Amino acid sequence: ITDFDREVGEAMAMVARSRAQDNTIFIYTSEQGSNFPHCKWTCYDTGLRTALVIRWPGKIKPGSVTDAMVQYVDIVPTLLEAAGADPTKFNSGRPGAPVGSASDTGFDGRSFLDVLLGKADSHREYTYGVHTTRGIINGSPSYPVRSIRSDRYKLIWNPQHDKPFSNILQTRGTELFWDSWKEAAKTDSVVKRRVTMYHTRPEFELYDLQADPYELVNLADDPKLADAKAELLPKLRAWMKQQGDEGIATELKAK
């Protein structure tokens, strides 16, 4: 953290020396979540959500915060629009651009410039996640995970739910916290349930992120939330189709 802080400072100082700080959009973002179980290498929010801090003097109000949902694919269209271009006029060569693009072959993402300028407080209706254990260090031979979330609900699809899920967190000797979890699971039913749910998962997981932000209570079989599941699953499948993602078949092609 200290080293990264130094690097950010050096980058900002470089911009200042060029006298371009008032005309530079400075973006700080991060990779995935922490390397604890239920976080990194999963499609839970603690693994998918990242930091995003943007500085643009005279344009973005200092200290302002938004709950608008954005994805990495929205960054390029946003920067293009901020620079005066029309991102909807670009041809990415990939069909299935979102509504609002001038053609079907625009960017997968959309500009959220209005959010940055304080003209809008929302952006995406849905965000998506993709994960696989195939090819990762000490991962399962193949355990694909796909997800979609709205502002309130998250649906996770585990196509190969009949297989065990694993990654380096459960096998590397230096990760002593996992060993402590397994030891505690011998006598603590709550810990045992957490350890078990990390290894063995159902085909579908549905979470109410307002009531359960850490996604620990699966409501996929709750009849009261059947409408939420019925809304999210077709959207997830449509997004996968647009991305050329055939689920297990795509996973098995990965090296």
Q: Are 131 and 145 in contact (CB under 8 A)?
A: yes
Chain-wide mean pLDDT for the chain? Answer: 91
What is the share, in percent, of the chain residues with pLDDT greater than 70? Answer: 96
Q: What is the pLDDT of residues 42-54, one digit of tens each?
A: 999 999 999 999 9
Helices (H), the chain: 2-17, 45-48, 75-82, 113-116, 176-185, 189-199, 226-243, 248-253
Q: Confidence class of residue 135 from pLDDT cuts 50, 70 and 90? A: confident
Strands 127-131 and 26-29: unpaired
Q: What is the arithmetic mean of pLDDT over 25-30? A: 92
At 89 the pLDDT is 87
For residue 24, give the amino acid letter. T
Q: Are 36 and 42 in contact (CB under 8 A)?
A: no
Q: What is the pLDDT of residues 160-176, one digit of tens each?
A: 999 989 888 876 555 67
- Name the residue with higher pLDDT: 93 or 38: 38
At 145 the pLDDT is 96
- Of 65-74, 101-110, 210-219, 246-255, least confident by mean pLDDT is 101-110
Q: Is residue 145 packed enough to be buried (19+ CB in 10 Å), middle (13-18) or exposed (0-12)? A: buried
At 76 the pLDDT is 94
CA distance 105 to 112: 19
Q: What is the arithmetic mean of pLDDT over 206-234? A: 96
Q: What is the arithmetic mean of pLDDT over 67-87? A: 95
Q: Are 154 and 148 in contact (CB under 8 A)?
A: yes
Q: What is the arithmetic mean of pLDDT over 189-217? A: 94
Q: Is residue 104 packed enough to be buried (19+ CB in 10 Å), middle (13-18) or exposed (0-12)? A: exposed
- Name the residue with higher pLDDT: 113 or 253: 113
Q: Confidence class of residue 246 from pLDDT cuts 50, 70 and 90? A: very high
What's the pTM? 0.90
Helix, strand counts (H, E) of the chain: 8, 6
- Of 25-29, 36-40, 128-132, least confident by mean pLDDT is 36-40
Q: Per the structure block, which two tokens stand in for 238?
A: 């449509």
